[in-house]
Amino acid sequence: MSARTIAVFGSHVLAEQDGVQTVLPDRWVLLEAGRIAAVSPARPAADLVLDAPGRLVLPGLINIHHHSVSEMIARARGEAPGGAGSVAKIVYQVLMPLTLRAGTLLSKQERLAIARLGMLQLLLGGCTSVMEPFRPVLAEMFEAAEEFGLRYWGAPYLFSTADPQFRADGSVDYAATTADDSSRDLAEWNALHARWQGAGDGRIAVAMSPHATDTCDPALLRACLDRARELGVPFTIHLAQSPDEVVTIRARHGCSPAEYLDRAGVLVPGTLAAHCVACSDDDLRLMAARGVVVLNCPRIFAREGILAPFARFERHGLKVCVATDGYGGDLLGDLSMAAMVSRLWAGDAGAVTAEALLESVTAGAATALGRADLGAIREGAAGDVTVFDLTHPQIAPLRDPRRALLAYSGSARMETLIVAGRPLVSGGRWLGGDEAAVAAAGEAAVRRLWNLPEVAAALGG
């Protein structure tokens, strides 16, 4: 579907007025030349008119931390009897080695099939933009993102210790760190940046992503931040994602992971820190003082019986963006979980608001990425919108569209998705091809990994 101008009617439009997002009733959003040309109560002339009643029109949702390939490889692992075990176990016994294996065992077409399925899941989850860390051997993620039309910040990992091994006693064996490891990864990152930055008519970008505090030495961290600043790209890292990481860093450096980053000089304004579930209150105060942004993925941790409360980070004065980490790109599911987890943690039904949660995946995430033109419905902003159908009987009677979206809706109610003025999803269906064929090809590639004896042993039940 293509059109020079598109008019989208919303019974409820989350628009920006005087820098504040507010729900406007019965508004038309006019998209022209990839931008929002007007927001008005009067119906404009347009090549394509979308005027179904009862729709909530949002700025395109931004999923700022997602892992397509590792999530698919570990699909249902956490729901098996006994769960996935410790976070360290799932990271270092399952996700890290198996994504590395995917880069060598699978053909380019198989890796591309998994990447395409990941992009399809993100689109059907309502995401117009995503930032995704992954191993450089899975660079097909860039190709799939360009093909599927969403905005994409690929974030190839950099390591000082690229292949840690999970021991039977529950500890992690980190390989020796050499200067050559870091130099190799920086060279590889630079090559991917040269190839992909600005591709897809500017939709594709490359972010800097040293993997984590326990796999990156101070020299690599500083080199990554220097290069990110030089190029003006986002800088993101996993921080305190498990108690095991805290123990490791304290044994090595005599401090917490957040303090380690601070001593290395990379805990700075705009650092995008994923998870932070094992941060102390002192750590969070330090991070807030430094201007760090927390990327909060509550559902993946709730699956393991761990609370990752949005409200805890927010109460320490941190900027917080909700993201999926996995779960098929279902960002609305993580927003709903963020509300529930925060209320359980605080023992307070008012611990977090729907307004703050939606802000975190629209204007808040856009600011974190340095893209003021995203995450808002206002004249001149990028023409990215996500539309939900709020007419379903399970949502009625409707009083507050934002609260209803988080409490009673679901990604299945996502109806229309437009990126840069181009419709990618309509009527809840992907417009780019055969969804079933994409899913079948992706599943076949993942099953090749599942069928390996060592992979089956790692995944368990």
Q: Tens digit of pLDDT for each residue in 75-102?
A: 756 565 455 456 666 666 666 677 777 7
pLDDT value at 289 more than 70: yes
DSSP state of 421: T
- Whether the ω angle into residue 397 lies within 30 degrees of 0, i.e. cis, is yes
Q: What is the pLDDT of residues 410-434, one digit of tens each?
A: 777 999 999 999 999 999 999 999 9
Name residues whose C-beta falls within 8 Å of residue 269's C-beta, 6 or more positions apart in sequence.
290, 291, 292
Q: Are 234 and 370 in contact (CB under 8 A)?
A: yes
Residue 282 reports pLDDT greater than 80? yes
Residue 236 has pLDDT above 60, yes or no: yes
Calculate mean pLDDT across residues 399-407: 94
What is the per-residue pLDDT for 77? 61
39 CB burial (10 A radius; 0-12, 13-18, 19+): buried
Dihedral of alpha carbons 13, 154, 104, 212, sign: negative
The tokens describing 183, both together, are 């130099």
User: Across the chain, what does the average pLDDT equal?
Assistant: 91
Confidence bin at 55 (pLDDT 50/70/90) = very high
Res 338: pLDDT: 98
Whether 179 has a pLDDT exceeding 60, the answer reads no
Rounded Cα distance, 217 and 297, in Å = 25
The pLDDT of residue 165 is: 61
Average pLDDT for 192-218:
97
- What is the mean predicted confidence (pLDDT) over 380-397? 95
Of 101-110, 255-264, 423-432, the one with minimum mean pLDDT is 101-110
pLDDT at 275: 98
If you average pLDDT over residues 381-404, what whole number do you get? Answer: 95
Q: What is the pLDDT of residue 73?
A: 79
DSSP string, 50-98: E--TTEEEEEPEEE-SB-HHHHHHTTTSTTSTT-S--HHHIIIIIIHHH
Q: How far apart are CA 205 and CA 134, in angstroms?
A: 14
Quote the pLDDT of residue 147.
98
pLDDT of residue 74: 76
Q: What is the mean pLDDT of residues 352-375?
A: 98
**pLDDT (mean) for 338-359:** 97
Length of the chain: 461
Q: What is the mean pLDDT of residues 331-354?
A: 97
How confident is the model at residue 390, as a pLDDT? 96
Q: CA dihedral defined by 87, 92, 96, 100, rounded to 10 degrees?
A: -160
